[in-house]
Structure 1
Amino acid sequence: MTESSGKHVLITFGRSFLTLNLARLMAAAGHRVTIVDSLPIGITRFSHATSKFFKVPSPKFEPVAYCRRLVQIVVEEKVDIVIPIHEETDILSMMAGLFPPTCELFLSPFTTENQLHQKAEFSQLLADKGMPGLKYATLSSPEDVEKLDFTTPFALKRVYSRGSQKVYKVSPGDDLSWLEFEDGNPWLAQQWASGDRYCTYSICRDGRVFAHAAYPVGYAIDGNSCLRFQSVEHPGILAWITEFVADIGFTGHIGFDFYDDPDIGLLTIECNPRATSGIMLFAPQDGVDRAFFGENTELITPDPDVDKMIGLGMMLYGWTRKSLNGRSFRQFVRDFRHSHDVVWASDDRKPAVMLPLAYLFILRHCFKYKVGLAEGFMHDHEWDGKEIPLDG
């Protein structure tokens, strides 16, 4: 890629399909793209959209070294904006003061990022603002379990967790003696919701939504982490997000998980104050790069007919019982043939060619950290609420 008169954009988490798609969108708009990752082999490194790649320390295991290395890259490469993709967002926001004023971090202050990331705090934020939410309780000890007063089924998950990790459905009276408690990362008991499920992705600046996408939850890993993405319009969801983002003055990308209950209406399960798969619904002609710089006056949305999938994920998980969720295998085959793989691009083929090698490096992570494939993909970029001393 030749250098252009556009911005110099640094995007993190180079192994991610989200990063690959965002890099392609930025490059197509004339911006120079630098990619970083703690793994030396990731698919975005091989994209024509990438000008430079840097291997950096792990943000989870070496957070201070990670941030200082990014600062060094920003200064030496004259980066205009850093766009974090995964939970390194929290770590960067915590250490934003290290970065020079000439470079923007596309995120909000740490207090805001953490309040949205931590699931119990987000639930309390909704309650404080008088917005509809689900009944919840935080469990930090066996004594908290004994005080539970749910009369209907509820979900159990860590307050710091993500879609690929376990969510347990529990009924009142079930034995919960198996719960293990971890300082700083308690369990969240949350009323079990019903209705049509949607995920969203929005690009925001100073409390205004500049780009937005919504997609229903269909094929998904364990029913939670989406594998297929179909753009839909949902005015109620857009109105909810527009009001919420304006109220907290949010800057960054943000995603929400919704249930649209036919009797109750919209219920928000959790918030992801970072990039979500919705970025993969946009195409170069949408000009979504403008949203990151606050340059557009009209809301940017993807084409309503977009149908994308993570092809490898669909092959590995899409046909399983939880992902099918009542569909037939024949329907799965039809949907697989209809959707367009997010990695493959006729004018940028190398990421797809290198995908098997990239996954070998992910598998090394899985063995190293003794986690499954979905968890291993992001394990060294997660942040679970641990305080990070600047000299640590």
Structure 2
Amino acid sequence: MRARTVLVTGARAPVALHLARLLHGAGLRVVLADSPAQPIAAASIACAAYHRLPPPRFALPAYYRAVEELVRREGVELVVPTCEEVFYLAQLWRDRTMPARLFTPDMDLLARVHDKHAFIHLAQDFGLAVPETTLLQSSGDIEAVRGHARELVFKPVWSRFASHVLLRPPPGALDAIEPSTAAPWVAQRFIAGDEISAYAMARDGKLEALALYRSRYRAGKGAGIWFERVEDEVARRFVEAFVAGTGWTGQISFDLMRQHDGTVLPLECNPRAVSGLHFFRDPQAFTAALLGGGEVRPDLDRPQTVRLAMWVYGLPAAIGSGELQRFRQAMHGADELLDWPDDPAPKRTQWRALAEIAATALRQRISLQAASTRDIEWNGPLQSSI
């Protein structure tokens, strides 16, 4: 009997590689797709075929045609997005009749939770505690909050990896912000406490997987590159309430802040996979949960890291802060998340993948982190492709 075929998109991401390994380990046939020429997941033994797609942000009609052709030719039954291509895929599934199921909510809900202002109000509608968050769409909106800028965090409504964030800036720093209807910002009350990241998977509003974790090292101010599991029942209750309130189906993640009194407040939401997925290593249990077989719990306790990213980002940060000993201990005390039994190729391929990203960064004169997602970013319904 032919194995069921699942398409995992966003093959550039370690979470896509990890998801492919889990599904493959459970006996599914995994096809991968993305825009880069040599993403790390394409080198895995879990990859039955890799399809290079046009970049959706810059060539959307061609992307749609390529995805539809791929789904039909490979006999795909289920599509699982892992990065911001989820928005473009949701638009495609909304506008056309596709033969495969897309593991994500509809486009309207995706856009609402990705919107850093709308998400907070949605959580508030469910009776959840939230930080005060003000929408900024004009210079007048900036002036209205300038006087207490030192108590606020400013960030674009449509953004990722903490890009462009201004943390309790001096009032004069707001002169650099030019919010508009097409590119709005938010001003959110600064919350002191311990940050908690959450990776979750749900079906029809019922939680199927949850990993809570904390990042000690990051790529710049954004994505974690060394992270450890935490347990927090209040954070779990927030995630359960939110996915139930939205009737969520698919993967979803949250940035939360645990205050000193134990209260947990949401900062923002990303409707995609994040690093907490790496704490699940049982292919059968995770795949069963993804297909509707009940909740699966994380089965790894040791911290996880990408050592190449630690050398690129973590070491300079450790040198700058004078914490080299702490860096050495972190490197020794964590597992390399790219390691997997009998599948060494992705770890070697990360150098070629990094070189491809670096070439884009040099060409576009942007950071490595910005280059890593430039072609799949979704910056709202009024975004420009430039």
**Shorter-chain TM-score above 0.5:** yes
2:75 is the alignment partner of 1:83: no
Task: Please give the alpha-carbon distance, in whole angstroms, between the structure 2 residues aligned to 1:265 and 1:302.
Answer: 24
Q: Letter of the 2:215 partner, please give it.
A: V
- Equivalent residue for 2:58? 61
2:40 is the alignment partner of 1:50: no
After TM superposition, give the deviation of residue 193 of structure 1 in Å: 1.1
2:379 is the alignment partner of 1:379: no
Task: Please give the alpha-carbon distance, in whole angstroms, between the structure 2 residues aligned to 1:99 and 1:19.
Answer: 25
Q: Letter of the 1:355 partner, please give it.
A: Q
After TM superposition, give the deviation of residue 361 of structure 1 in Å: 0.9
After TM superposition, give the deviation of residue 307 of structure 1 in Å: 1.8
2:270 is the alignment partner of 1:303: no
Q: Letter of the 1:191 partner, please give it.
A: R
> Normalized against structure 1, the TM-score is what?
0.92
Q: How does 1:13-24 map to 2 (within 5 A)?
A: 13-24=10-21
Alignment CA distance shift 1:281-1:268 (3 Å): same
- SS of equivalent residue, structure 1 residue 275: coil
Moved more, 111-120 or 350-359: 350-359
> Normalized against structure 2, the TM-score is what?
0.93
Alignment CA distance shift 1:324-1:205 (3 Å): farther
Structure 1 spans left out of the alignment, 5+ residues: none
Contact preservation (8 Å) 2:198, 2:255:
yes
- Equivalent residue for 2:348? 353
- SS of equivalent residue, structure 2 residue 289: helix
After TM superposition, give the deviation of residue 121 of structure 1 in Å: 1.0
Q: Deviations over 1:348-374 (max 9, x none)?
A: 011111221111111122123321011
- SS of equivalent residue, structure 1 residue 219: strand
- Equivalent residue for 1:73? 70
- Which of 249, 252, 255 in structure 1 is aligned with 2:253? 255
- Which of 269, 290, 293 in structure 2 is aligned with 1:292? 290
Moved more, 83-92 or 343-352: 343-352
- Equivalent residue for 1:366? 361
Hey, which of these two has a bigger chunk of helix by percent? 2
- Equivalent residue for 1:318? 314
- Which of 166, 175, 190 in structure 1 is aligned with 2:164? 166
CA RMSD of aligned residues (A): 2.2
Task: Please give the alpha-carbon distance, in whole angstroms, between the structure 1 residues aligned to 2:168 and 2:230.
Answer: 31
After TM superposition, give the deviation of residue 181 of structure 1 in Å: 3.4
After TM superposition, give the deviation of residue 81 of structure 1 in Å: 0.5
Q: Deviations over 1:81-137 (max 9, x none)?
A: 011111111111122135545310011011100000010111222233332111121
- Equivalent residue for 2:220? 222
Alignment CA distance shift 1:363-1:54 (3 Å): same
Structure 2 spans left out of the alignment, 5+ residues: none
Task: Please give the alpha-carbon distance, in whole angstroms, between the structure 2 residues aligned to 1:14 and 1:77.
Answer: 17
Q: Letter of the 1:371 partner, please give it.
A: I
Q: Deviations over 1:44-68 (max 9, x none)?
A: 1110000000111101111232122
Task: Please give the alpha-carbon distance, in whole angstroms, between the structure 1 residues aligned to 2:340 and 2:262.
Answer: 42
After TM superposition, give the deviation of residue 186 of structure 1 in Å: 1.1
Write out the 4+ residue segments of structure 1 that deviate beyond 6 Å after TM superposition: 323-327
- Equivalent residue for 2:278? 280
- Equivalent residue for 1:193? 191
Identical pairs, percent: 28
Alignment CA distance shift 1:241-1:338 (3 Å): same
